[in-house]
Structure 1
Amino acid sequence: MNILNLTKKVRKRIWFKYRIACIKAFMRLSVGYIILHLFKRKLIKKRIWLVMERATEARDNGFSFFLYMRERHPDINTYYVIIKDSPDEKKLDRFKANVIHYNTYKHIFYYLAAECSISTHERGVTSPYCFHGYTGYSCIESLGWFVPAKQTIVFLQHGIIQKYLNLIDKEKQPKHLRPHLFITTAPRERDFIETMGHWPENTVVSTGLSRFDSLFDNMGKCKKQILVMPTWRKWLAANNTAAEATDIEQNRFMLSSYYKTFQHLLNSEEVANLLDIHNYQLIFYLHYEFQSYINVFSCNNPRIMIAGRNNFDVQSLLIESSILITDYSSVAFDFAYMRKPLIYYQFDQREYTEHYQEGYFKYDSDGFGPVVIQEKDLILQIKDILEKNGNVKETYLKRINEFLPPLDNRNSERIYDAILLTMSSRGVPCG
C-alpha cells in the first residue's frame, strides 16, 4: 500500500493499526522468548533450519530447496513455514512432520531457536509477522532484538536480478535482517549486486537458483503451448493483491495500455489462426501483483486460457510451454535456461523505462529473443518460431550460453555447500 497517496486521516488510522500490530507481535514474541528458554537446549540441539516463501506459497526456490534438504540431508531438521490451509499446503502433505504453520507459537519458538533462516524474501526472512505490517513493512523490523544473533540468514531470491528496480541494497536493509548469504545465478548478476548493492565480498555467490534443478530434470517435456507471462506495473497495482480489485482500481486498470494490449492480443484473429493451424494452446498468466485483475480479461477462444494463480503453478507452466512471450520479467531466464525460444513484447517501452531505471542487462543486445513493440511484429515472430519447430536461433543461443552457467541439476547442492561455508565463517557449528 502506498501511504503517500492516502489522506492524513487514513494514514493516521493505518499507523495506529500498525502500532497495535507491533504491540501484539511484541507480546507474543516475548511470551515465546520466555518459554523458549525453558526448552532452549532441547530445541537448539535439533539443528533447526526454516524455509519460507510468501506466507501462502510453496512453489518457488524455497519449496525446491526444502525438498532437496528433506531428500538429501534428512539429518538436518528443515521445516517449511506456511499459513494453515493455504492452497499450496497440500504439496507438503508427505512432509507434515516438517511443516510449521505461519505465526503460531510453534513458529515463534522454532524461529527463535533456528540456526538458519532461508527465504525467497529479503525483508521478512522466515520470521513471524513478516507479512502482517499495515504499511508494507514487517513488524519484525521494529522488533529486531528478537532476531537470534547466531542465526544465518539466507536470501534465495525469486529470480535473476537484471535491473535497478529489483536491486537489493545492503544499506537499505535493517541490520538485523541483512542476509549473510545472497544467492545469484549469473556472474554478471553477482558482480552487479555486489557492486551496486554494497554487499561485502563472499556474501553474494553464484550457485544457480534452486528451482533450476527441476527445470533441468524436466527438459524436453513440452506441450504445444505458448505461455504469455508479462510482469506487473507498479503504477497500476491494486492496494490488496490478495483480493479482487475495487471498481475504481479495475476501471483505472482497464484504461491502461497494459490492459488494452493484452486484451486485444487474447482476441486477435491472427493469433487464433496460428493456434488453429499449428494445433497450439495459449496460456495467459498474470503476475502475482496483478492477479486481482484477472476477471477483467476475457476471451471466448477454447484454445486460450486465462490462468489464475490458485489453479496453475508457474514452474509447471514454464516446463510445459514451448514458447514464452514476456516483456521485462525475469521468467525469461528460466525459459532460456531450458534453451527454449522466447519473445520480449515491450509495447510500453518508453513508459516503462521512465519508471524503472535500466540495469546491466540490455534487452536488445543481451536478450535471449527478439524485442518487439507492436502486435503485428509479435505475431510475425510467433509465426517464425512455429514454422521453424521451436528452435532457438544461434544468435540467442550464444547469448544464453555466455550469460547463464552450464546446465545441470546441482544448484541446490551448491546452495547447501555455500550455507555450510557461510555458517563456518561466522563461527557457527555445522554439524
Structure 2
Amino acid sequence: MSLYTQMVGRNEQIWVFSDFPSGQEFSQNRRYLFQYLEKDGCYEIRPIWLARSRELYETLSKMGYEVYPANSLKARYYTLRAGYIPIDAGPGAISWWCTGGATVIQMGHGIPLKADNHTSADNLLVDMASWNSADYAVFSSQYCETHFREYFDSGVEAGFLNTGLSEGTSIYTGYPKTDAIVNDVNTIEGIDTDRDQLDIEQSDVVIGYFPTRREGQGLDLNTILDVRRTEEFLQQNSAKLLIKPHRDLDIGEGISESNSIQLINSDTDSHQFLTEIDILITDYSSIYFDFLLLDRPVIFYTPDHSTYEEIRGVHPNYENVIAGPRVNNFEELLEQLESNVNGVDEYAGRRQEIRDQFFEHADGNASKRIFEKVID
C-alpha cells in the first residue's frame, strides 16, 4: 500500500476500470460490469474508466461516462483512491503499483480450451510484480474453477489468478460479458458492430467462424476453406458467413468479402453480436463456452491439430468438454454444416450437460451477483 493511500484512505464507492490489454479496448468482463454499475446506479457507486486512446476517451465522455486518460494524473489519483479494482487476467492500463489496499476482483479473460504457454521465468516475473494479488477470483461454477486450475499450473495468468488467494475468495457468480448474451445491451457507435453493419437481414442462417491465435504463426484460410464451394453452399442455403479471427492471427491473403462472406475486425467485441449467430465454427477459442448459453450448434474445425499441439497445445480437458463434432478437413466441415442447416443437431444433450457443469447461472445477472458478493 502506498504512503498516499495510507494517509488518505480508499473510497469504497469508487470502482476503477481500464482498457483490456489488447486492441479490444472497451470490452470483456470489465466493460459489462462497468456498464452495469453505471446504468443501475448501485448505491451511489462511482465507476471510472481509464482509456488509453483519445478516441475511446472522447466517445465515452460524450456518453456521460466518467473517464480519464490512462496516463493522466487523475488516473493515478483515482487508482490510489479506488476501493475496488476489477481486472480481466491482467491490470491493463492500470498502474499496478497504485492498487495496494484496494479490493482486486479477478474476472479472467475466458474459460480456456488452449494449454498454458507461459514459462516458469514468466511466472517469476509476475510473482515479483504481483505483490497485490486478487482478493476475489470469479468463476462460473466450481467445475469451472477446477478446469481453470488445471490450466494455471504456471504462467503469467497464474500470478494474477492464484497467487495469494485464500480459502473463500473464489466466487461462483458467472461472467459479466455473458450478461450481454442473455440481455439486450445497447451498442455504442464507434466502438461496437451492430446488426446493420453485419448485413445479415436477408440471411436465413448466420454462421460464425472464430479461429483462435496461433502464437505468432499464421493460418492461411485459403488452405483450409474452399472459398468457391463455401460461397456456393452459402448462396444455396441463404446463409451468411462471418469470419472473425483472433487479433494476433494472420489469416493470409485471398479471403475476399462477398454477399455471403464478411470479415469482422479482430478487435470487435464479439459479445455485441454473438446472439445473431446460428452456428459457431471455432477450434480452441474460449468463445465456445460463452456461446453455450445460446444452446446452438458448435463445430470444432481443427485441420492443423497436430501443428497446433506443437505451437501451444490444448487444455488437458479439451476432449472432455467440447460439445460438438471435431472435424479435420473441409469436406467434413461442409458435411457437418449441411447437417446443421438441415436441422440435425446430435449434440443438444451434450451441450446441456457441459453447460450445466460450467454455468451455475445462465440468467444474465452475473454483474449483479459479483457486485453483491464483494460488498457483502
TM range (shorter): 0.7 to 0.9
Query: Residue 74 of structure 1: CA displacement?
Result: 5.4
How big is the shift at 1:389?
7.1
Contact in 2 for aligned 1:368/1:400 (Cα 8 Å): no
**Counterpart amino acid of 1:90?**
T
2:130 & 2:257 partners in 1: Cα distance? Answer: 52
Question: Does residue 286 of the first structure (1) align with residue 237 of the second (2)?
Answer: no
CA-to-partner distance for each residue in 1:236-279, whole Å, 9 max, x for gaps? 2xxxxxxxxxxxxxxxx4xxxx21xx224555333212211211
Q: Which residue of 2 aligns with 1:249?
A: none
Whether the aligned pair in 1 keeps the contact of 2:143 and 2:357 (CA below 8 Å) is no
Q: Distance in 1 between matches of 2:148 and 2:345?
A: 33
- 1:355 equivalent to 2:306? Answer no
Quick check: 1:306 aligned with 2:263? yes
| Aligned residue number for residue 147 of structure 1 | 98
Question: Counterpart of 1:398?
Answer: 353
User: In structure 2, which of residues 207, 211, 222 is the aligned counterpart of residue 226 of structure 1?
Assistant: 207
Aligned to 1:268: 227
Change over 3 Å in CA distance of 1:71–1:48 after alignment to 2: same
Rounded to whole Å, the distance in 2 between the matches of 1:322 and 1:119 is: 31
Please report how far the alpha carbon of residue 295 of structure 1 lies from its aligned counterpart in structure 2 after TM superposition.
7.4
Map of 2:167 onto structure 1: 201
TM-score, structure 1 length as denominator?
A: 0.70
| SS of equivalent residue, structure 1 residue 176 | coil
Q: 1:206 to 1:90 in 2, by over 3 A?
A: same
- Of 281-290 and 384-393, the range deviating more from structure 2: 384-393
Asked whether the 8 Å contact 1:218–1:319 carries over to 2, the reply is no
Aligned length: 341
**CA positional deviation for 1:353:** 1.8
3-state secondary structure, aligned to 2:64 = helix
Aligned to 2:190: none
1:381 aligns with 2:370: no
| Contact 2:80–2:99, Cα closer than 8 Å, also in 1 | yes
1:316-371 CA-to-partner distances (Å, cap 9, x unmatched) read: 231211111101000001111111111010111112123335435223x3212111
Shift of 1:80: 1.2
Distance across 2 between alignment mates of 1:77 and 1:111: 13
- Answer 1 or 2: higher relative contact order, Cα 8 Å, separation at least 6: 2
Q: Does the Cα contact within 8 Å between 1:50 and 1:114 map onto a contact in 2?
A: yes
Please tell me whether residue 48 in structure 1 is matched to residue 17 in structure 2: no
Out of 190-199 and 226-235, give the one that drifted further. 190-199
Is 1:94 paired with 2:50? no
Q: 1:149 to 1:83 in 2, by over 3 A?
A: closer
For the 8 Å contact 1:267–1:299, the answer to whether it is kept is: no
Q: Given the superposition, is the C-alpha separation of residues 117 and 264 from structure 1 closer, same or farther in structure 2, using an over 3 Å criterion? A: same
Distance between the aligned counterparts of 2:107 and 2:355, measured in 1?
22
Asked if the contact 1:68/1:412 (under 8 Å) is kept, the reply is: yes
Q: Whose Rg is larger?
A: 1
**Farther-moved stretch of structure 1 (199-208 vs 68-77):** 199-208
Bigger share in helix? 1
The match for 1:186 among 136, 141, 144 is 141
Tell me which residue corresponds to 1:63.
Answer: 31
TM-score, scaled to structure 2: 0.79
Structure 2 partner of 1:411: 366
CA RMSD of aligned residues (A): 3.2
Q: Matches of 1:50 and 1:87 in 2, distance apart?
A: 16
1:360–1:408: structure 2 CA closer, same or farther, 3 Å change rule?
A: farther
Q: Specify which of 72, 82, 102 is matched with residue 104 of structure 1.
A: 72
Q: Is the 8 A contact 2:10 2:101 kept in 1?
A: no
Cα deviation for residue 417 of structure 1 reads 2.3
Picking from 134, 143, 158, the partner of 2:109 is 158
Q: For structure 2, which runs of at least 5 residues remain unmatched after alignment? A: 186-194
SS at the partner of 1:397? helix
Three-state SS of the structure 1 residue aligned to 2:273 is helix
Indicate if the aligned counterparts of 1:226 and 1:321 stay in contact, CA closer than 8 A: yes
The answer to whether the 8 A contact 2:76-2:98 is kept is: no
